[in-house]
Structure 1
Amino acid sequence: MFSKVLVANRGEIAVRVFRACEELGIRTVAVYSEADKHGGHVRYADEAYNIGPARAADSYLDQESILDAARKADVDAIHPGYGFLAENASFARRVEESEFVWIGPSADAMESLGEKTKARSAMQAADVPVVPGTTEPVESPAEVKEIADEYGYPVAIKAEGGGGGRGLKVVNSEDEVEEQLETAQREGEAYFDNASVYVEKYLEAPRHIEVQILADEHGNVRHLGERDCSLQRRHQKVIEEAPSPALSDELREQIGEAAKRGVDAVGYTNAGTVEFLVEDGSFYFMEVNTRIQVEHTVSEEITGVDIVKWQLRIAAGEELTFEQSDVKIEGHAIEFRINAENAANNFAPATGTLETYDPAGGIGVRIDDAVRQGDEIGGDYDSMIAKLIVAASDRDECLARSERALAEYDISGLQTIIPFHRLMLTDEAFINGEHTTKYLDEVLDKQRIADAVEQWGDGDRSEADNDDEEVTERQFTVEVNGKRFDVSLEERGAPPLPSGAGGASGRMQRPPQAKNESENTSAEYEGEGDTVTAEMQGTILSVAVAEGDEVSPGDVVCVLEAMKMENDVVTERGGTVTQVAIEEGDSVDMGDLLVVLE
């Protein structure tokens, strides 16, 4: 077994891997960007190394910086987590060719399955049903139109390296082809360093079913049952559960065996997920995620198998110690993604300080997170700050326990989607397991979401002052040659710390931070006219208007990327553009001026 492992990731997944390492007696190494100096994964690890600025391309996607940190720390192996470089075959190959062990599938398997067109071809060869579409990348609008003419609209344009809904664009008519193709290619390049896309027939109202697999280097392949990930907004999952409430026993067995057959055919090893779309009793291969999944937790809860520990053991050359017949599905589990988003505002990302952070607990409740009270939640990365996983003997008990747990979960200082989750536990379609991937975006009444946020959305309230509490110990962070160290300092008669800074003890406690008052560099406007301002912190991806343009209510003025999501910024009023205060690539804060209209 390894003696020291570096996790090339951040947040809760890094902490999840560290905990598995700790139980196996493995020392842990974190990497972090400037934005994550005080991140929970940094606080948890035995060692931590700075790898660059906040921008992911300059830190968590910087392969050389990560490998350099691994050499400095003298680790045995690298675990990629999910996202960032987790499905980057070139990085996996660089690790394989280095002195380190790659904790994941081989680079060859990632190339076969990680890029979607190759994966579709491999699955067809293994007699696994696939959605009708291309098995080669497309480059031009004409190619997309040709495929749409063959299968009919709508069609889906998908990034080859994509996942989590990113790089996926639905085309409903010929007029949309060019714009959606450009957007899918841009997202593929930005998120996965791969602008290549393919096209397939878009299923109208499917279930999203995925199968967790484990495969060792000795020819053994096992699956751990399926997960239902059908509740999604804009193709990104928000609630996942296992097993699926919608599959018959016969269909469940067919999908599980198809997943094993597909990965076995390409010599896959380590953990992975085979994703399917199910509609009208038929199932179609969608993609293979060649990594650990966000929702791996629910499979662990119903099987008792620690998937991350098995990732480590398999990478160390160990053989799976259980047969397929030993895998027993017991009970039911649901995962709720605790995202920093305002569900009433189309799930727009939210930022702020966790003035209160008091997670749920009790029997059957698991929290995977990397945050503590007093932490700043910025807009540089994904909006998920934690995961609430609830397990029980059956689905009915799991739903009831989830109601209790969500009511207990206390967060203030920024908005989260907890109110939305509480709404879903009163929703007839969700309770009956009848929802599809279209339910949230196209069926659920948005006013019900707004009402739920009004009823339960207390995320902006502030806690009472704790200024009377005497604090005698402070924690600071220093860096020496890029390596992070925590320093404790006792002060007698010291002034109190800000609220929340001393609210948690243990290895994930957050040291106080000073606010940089010069961070807001927005343009100012003192004249007359209607202004369009940023509703969130983020980066301007594109500007759609220029001075002198005439715009109508609802027109897009720019596209703002926040927490890895593209958001169209629209004007509520019509008029003439008299000032454009931003350019492509600019960083903006909430409330910053974007456009002025007269």
Structure 2
Amino acid sequence: MFEKVLVANRGEIAVRVMRACEELGVETVAVYSEADKNGGHVRYADEAYNVGPARAADSYLDHEAVIDAAQKAGADAIHPGYGFLAENAEFARKVENEETLTWVGPSSDAMEALGEKTKARTIMNDADVPIVPGTTDPVEEVEEVETFGDEHGYPVAIKAEGGGGGRGMKVVESADDAADELESAKREGEAYFGNDSVYLERYLENPRHIEVQIVADHHGNVRHLGERDCSLQRRHQKVVEEGPSPALSDELREKIGEAARRGVAAADYTNAGTVEFLVEEDVDRDGLLGPDANFYFLEVNTRIQVEHCVTEEITGIDILKWQLRVAAGEELDFAQDDVEIDGHAIEFRINAENAAKDFQPATGGVLTTYDPPGGVGVRVDDAMRQGDELVTDYDSMIAKLIVWGADREECLARSKRALAEYEIEGVTTIVPFHRLTCTDDRFVAGTHTTKYLDEELDPERLSDAQERWGPAEPSASADDVQVVEREFTVEVNGKRFEVDLEERGAAPLSNGGGGSPPQRPQTGSSDDGGSEAAVSGDGESVSAEMQGTVLSVEVAEGDDVAAGDVVVVLEAMKMENDIVAARGGTVSQVAVAEGDSVDMGDTLVVLE
């Protein structure tokens, strides 16, 4: 087993990996950006290194900075968590090529083969795994989209080769939309995954999203750990996951699980991963979906998943520990027949978003109250603590609530209780939405599809839930938090050391071990390198509605625009947001450029 592991991630998943390491007697190393200098994962780790400014491309996505931190710390392995570099085959290959480091994950060759969706479709098709009708070669021209739509019908899905979780996917409803959606998908693919290559698939109208957790070692053993149902989504982003699926018969469940094992084995895949499928739902069905139901391969996530906790709760198998053991060369010590599903589990993503406002990400706040639930069958994976400021530079998920019950009925009842106990003040979250979900007829009946939340759920119910169960307005800054004496840390050559100083906020996150982890300094928000340009143009300003990064500027000085025209495309919390002009006019100034970081209220464009 390894002696020291660097976790190339942040937040709750970094803490989750570190806890697994600690139980295996392995020391941990955190990396952090300037925005995360006070982060929970930094407090938890045995040591921590600064890898750059807030912008992910200059810190968490900087290959050399992360590898350099691992070498400085004397780590012998790197675990990427999920997101950031977790599915980056180039980074994995660099780690593999370092004599002193081991990559905790599938090989770079397997990541490359399955990470690019057209290659993955070919591998699965050859392994007799059903695939959705689509292209196996990258699509470059809009005419290819139109031809595919004419042949297979609309809507058509355009997907980025390196995409996942709804990123880099656009739905074309008609030929008129093809050009704009193709450009948008390619832009997102380049922005998020460094790859603007896209492919096409027939877009299924009413699917269930079913995924199978697999673990494979270097000794030829491949196991699946059952399925998870991830059908409750907003804009293709999962918000609730559960296992086992409430819609599948045992026969269909077995067919999908074996298809996943077959495909992974054909790809010579090792370590943990998830094979995702779309299952065509019969909304008028009586009973469970039988073995004749259509299911299609969607993609392989070559990493640990956000919702891996669901599988851990119903199988009793610690997937993170097995990731480390497999990377260290150990053989799986259980057969497929040994995997038993016990009870039911549901995971609720605790996102800093307002569901009543189209799941708009929170723009800031301080956790003035943070009291997570407990009791039998309740698990919370988090990294924030009372007094922490919300970091808005990255993903909006701040915690995960995972609830287990002997059956789905008990699990839902326990979920209602746990969500009611979850006290969060100072930051807006989607806890009210989750409380509504647990009483929603379609969700309780298990007949919801991936379209339900976006297209069928009455928005007024979301507003009522937010008003009933939502917190007061979030705190704008940390100035109101009481100042107390804490241990402080300083950096020398990127490494942290402890001193005694004042700190704002609550107690540090204990690592439960014998040594003292780095403690939390409170210095307020740091500059992420972005700055608002001076406004010299006359007229009305079009301002940023949230903090984010400029993906593209759609206008130039002198252009005439109409009310509703897109002027800037802004990325915030992994979502692409069109910033539109509220009224028509002529552009007198463009105050930002592609790649700029902006804060809420910054001027983007000035209209005369």
TM tier, smaller: over 0.9
TM-score, with length taken from structure 1: 0.93
Q: Tell me how far 1:540 sits from its aligned partner.
A: 2.1
Cα-to-partner distance string for 1:116-152 (whole Å, 9 max, x where unaligned): 1111000001000000001111122222222222211
Question: Distance between the aligned counterparts of 1:462 and 1:351, measured in 2?
Answer: 11
- The 1:470–1:4 alpha-carbon spacing in structure 2 relative to 1, beyond 3 Å, is closer
* Structure 2 SS opposite 1:411: strand
TM-score, with length taken from structure 2: 0.91
Matched, 1:474 2:486: yes
Q: Which amino acid aligns with 2:212?
A: V
**Stretch deviating more after TM superposition (437-446 or 134-143):** 134-143
Q: Tell me how far 1:79 sits from its aligned partner.
A: 0.9
Question: Distance between the aligned counterparts of 1:470 and 1:553, measured in 2?
Answer: 48
Matched, 1:411 2:424: yes
Question: Distance between the aligned counterparts of 1:502 and 1:365, measured in 2?
Answer: 23
- The 1:341–1:7 alpha-carbon spacing in structure 2 relative to 1, beyond 3 Å, is same
How is 1:72-87 mapped onto 2 (pairs within 5 angstroms)? 72-87=72-87
2:289 is aligned to none
1:448 is aligned to 461
Q: Which amino acid aligns with 2:601?
A: G
Contact 1:84 1:192 in 2 (8 A): no
How is 1:22-61 mapped onto 2 (pairs within 5 angstroms)? 22-61=22-61
* Structure 2 SS opposite 1:377: coil
- The 1:333–1:508 alpha-carbon spacing in structure 2 relative to 1, beyond 3 Å, is farther
- The 1:231–1:83 alpha-carbon spacing in structure 2 relative to 1, beyond 3 Å, is same
Q: Which amino acid aligns with 1:345?
A: K
Question: Distance between the aligned counterparts of 2:440 and 2:60, measured in 1?
Answer: 39
Question: Distance between the aligned counterparts of 2:423 and 2:481, measured in 1?
Answer: 23
1:402 is aligned to 415
1:591 is aligned to 601
How is 1:479-494 mapped onto 2 (pairs within 5 angstroms)? 479-489=491-501
Question: Distance between the aligned counterparts of 1:558 and 1:94, measured in 2?
Answer: 36
Q: Which amino acid aligns with 1:567?
A: N
How is 1:254-269 mapped onto 2 (pairs within 5 angstroms)? 254-269=255-270
Q: Tell me how far 1:574 sits from its aligned partner.
A: 4.8
- The 1:537–1:198 alpha-carbon spacing in structure 2 relative to 1, beyond 3 Å, is same
Matched, 1:341 2:342: no
Q: Tell me how far 1:509 sits from its aligned partner.
A: 5.4
2:543 is aligned to 533
2:223 is aligned to 222
Q: Tell me how far 1:92 sits from its aligned partner.
A: 1.4
Question: Distance between the aligned counterparts of 1:85 and 1:155, measured in 2?
Answer: 29
Contact 1:372 1:510 in 2 (8 A): no
* Structure 2 SS opposite 1:188: helix
1:202 is aligned to 203
**Stretch deviating more after TM superposition (581-590 or 416-425):** 581-590
Matched, 1:543 2:544: no
Question: Distance between the aligned counterparts of 2:507 and 2:76, measured in 1?
Answer: 35
Matched, 1:18 2:18: yes
2:451 is aligned to 438
Cα-to-partner distance string for 1:456-492 (whole Å, 9 max, x where unaligned): 22152559x9989784x22322111111223234xxx
Question: Distance between the aligned counterparts of 2:58 and 2:50, measured in 1?
Answer: 11
- The 1:521–1:62 alpha-carbon spacing in structure 2 relative to 1, beyond 3 Å, is closer
1:162 is aligned to 163
**Stretch deviating more after TM superposition (270-279 or 348-357):** 348-357
Question: Distance between the aligned counterparts of 1:570 and 1:137, measured in 2?
Answer: 31
CA RMSD after TM alignment: 2.5
Contact 2:489 2:518 in 1 (8 A): no
Question: Distance between the aligned counterparts of 2:10 and 2:528, measured in 1?
Answer: 26
Question: Distance between the aligned counterparts of 1:40 and 1:68, measured in 2?
Answer: 22
How is 1:91-106 mapped onto 2 (pairs within 5 angstroms)? 91-99=91-99, 100-106=101-107
1:173 is aligned to 174
Question: Distance between the aligned counterparts of 1:290 and 1:504, measured in 2?
Answer: 30
Question: Distance between the aligned counterparts of 1:211 and 1:523, measured in 2?
Answer: 48
Q: Tell me how far 1:554 sits from its aligned partner.
A: 3.4
**Stretch deviating more after TM superposition (73-82 or 304-313):** 73-82
- The 1:113–1:322 alpha-carbon spacing in structure 2 relative to 1, beyond 3 Å, is same
Matched, 1:294 2:295: no
Matched, 1:2 2:2: yes
- The 1:525–1:422 alpha-carbon spacing in structure 2 relative to 1, beyond 3 Å, is farther
Unmatched tracts of structure 1, length 5 or more: none
Contact 1:209 1:228 in 2 (8 A): yes
Q: Tell me how far 1:330 sits from its aligned partner.
A: 0.8
Q: Tell me how far 1:501 sits from its aligned partner.
A: 4.1
Q: Tell me how far 1:6 sits from its aligned partner.
A: 0.9
- The 1:454–1:524 alpha-carbon spacing in structure 2 relative to 1, beyond 3 Å, is farther
Cα-to-partner distance string for 1:337-356 (whole Å, 9 max, x where unaligned): 11111212211211322222
How is 1:244-283 mapped onto 2 (pairs within 5 angstroms)? 244-280=245-281, 281-283=293-295
- The 1:3–1:322 alpha-carbon spacing in structure 2 relative to 1, beyond 3 Å, is same
Q: Which amino acid aligns with 1:283?
A: F
- The 1:92–1:529 alpha-carbon spacing in structure 2 relative to 1, beyond 3 Å, is closer
Which of residues 370, 379, 384 is equivalent to 1:371? 384
* Structure 1 SS opposite 2:330: coil
Cα-to-partner distance string for 1:178-199 (whole Å, 9 max, x where unaligned): 2211221221122112221111
2:288 is aligned to none
Contact 1:351 1:414 in 2 (8 A): no
Q: Tell me how far 1:175 sits from its aligned partner.
A: 1.9
Q: Which amino acid aligns with 1:233?
A: R
Unmatched tracts of structure 2, length 5 or more: 282-292, 512-516
- The 1:403–1:571 alpha-carbon spacing in structure 2 relative to 1, beyond 3 Å, is farther
**Stretch deviating more after TM superposition (51-60 or 383-392):** 51-60
Matched, 1:112 2:113: yes
Matched, 1:145 2:146: yes
1:133 is aligned to 134
Contact 2:570 2:576 in 1 (8 A): yes
Q: Tell me how far 1:502 sits from its aligned partner.
A: 4.6
Q: Which amino acid aligns with 1:43?
A: R
2:244 is aligned to 243
1:88 is aligned to 88
Question: Distance between the aligned counterparts of 1:42 and 1:319, measured in 2?
Answer: 32
Cα-to-partner distance string for 1:75-121 (whole Å, 9 max, x where unaligned): 11111111111111122122122121111111121122111111100
Q: Tell me how far 1:19 sits from its aligned partner.
A: 0.4
Contact 2:12 2:41 in 1 (8 A): yes
Q: Which amino acid aligns with 2:316?
A: G
Question: Distance between the aligned counterparts of 1:525 and 1:186, measured in 2?
Answer: 28
1:513 is aligned to 523
Cα-to-partner distance string for 1:55-83 (whole Å, 9 max, x where unaligned): 11111111111111111111111111111
**Stretch deviating more after TM superposition (120-129 or 377-386):** 377-386
Q: Which amino acid aligns with 1:295?
A: E
1:123 is aligned to 124
Which of residues 554, 561, 567 is equivalent to 2:577? 567
Contact 2:207 2:450 in 1 (8 A): yes
Contact 2:47 2:518 in 1 (8 A): no
Question: Distance between the aligned counterparts of 1:159 and 1:305, measured in 2?
Answer: 33
2:324 is aligned to 312
Q: Which structure would you say has the larger RCO, counting Cα contacts within 8 Å and 6 or more residues apart?
A: 2
